[in-house]
Amino acid sequence: MNLSELSLSVQKGNAKMARMLVLQALEEHIEPTKILHEGLIDAMVKEGIKFKNNEIYVPEMLVASRAMSVALKALYPIISQHGKKIIGKVVIGTVKGDIHDIGKNLVKMMMEGKGIEVIDLGVNVQDFEFVKSSEETGADIVCLSSLLTTTMPAMFDVITAFKKAGIKDKYAFMIGGAPITTNFAKQINADYYTPDADSAAKLAKNILIKKRKYEMSY
């Protein structure tokens, strides 16, 4: 099958068709990561461009996002089972005031596919919840997501909460989302910024591998 059909169904917000096409692609033994990138991520990238150009508006984006979520649920079990050996733990969540989770869910799926255990706190997560979960689970990395410029300062609040608790240096902080930039990451003292789910998963894996090697040398 042509994965552009899947991309188009997501863009149109046809959740039922999107799910059916994901299952069809899997039956045809198309690589799950190819389905993800060329079918699903491609759709949201195109929708994002349309949104920035005022060709579509929030309602259309939400409809496409819902279709994306339904399609992801069909693909998720296949992607996540690729990573068998757990190499580390990540706590992830969308910061306070923001309820968007498509990007976060993509990052989670990609990380799990690389053998990373992901503790997903969901959306609209308070700073103290990140601190509590990270300490209780023994996480290595804290990932913060924000899609709105108005909620970007909440990322700084989370990192500040870790500083006040005297535990910031225990974790690597990764941030991402549509309005986030490398400069903003530097401003709030985050360790890393990644522009997409694939690069976030690869970076997290590298961080964890280096950490394990360092710990084994002692």
| Residue 44 pLDDT | 82
pTM: 0.77
Backbone φ, ψ for residue 52 (5° rounding) = -65, -30
Helical ranges in 143-195 per DSSP H? 152-164, 182-187
**Residue 194: both structure tokens together:** 């990644």
| Residue 215 pLDDT | 67
| Residue 33 pLDDT | 83
Cα torsion at 192, 150, 91, 137 (round to 10°)?
120
Q: How far apart are CA 145 and CA 148, in angstroms?
A: 10
| Residue 72 pLDDT | 86
Residue 122 DSSP class: -
| Residue 80 pLDDT | 66
Q: How far apart are CA 116 and CA 137, in angstroms?
A: 13
User: What are 38-71's pLDDT values in tens digits?
Assistant: 998 888 888 878 877 889 887 888 888 889 889 9
Q: Please count the CA atoms within 13 angstroms of the CA of 7 that sit on its side-chain side.
A: 18
Residues in the chain: 218
Residues of the chain with CATH 1.10.1240.10: 3-80
CATH fold of the domain at 88-216: Rossmann fold (3.40.50)
CATH fold of the domain at 3-80: 1.10.1240
Q: How far apart are CA 105 and CA 165, in angstroms?
A: 28
What are the residue ranges in the chain where pLDDT is below 50?
none
| Residue 216 pLDDT | 60
| Residue 217 pLDDT | 59
Residues of the chain with CATH 3.40.50.280: 88-216
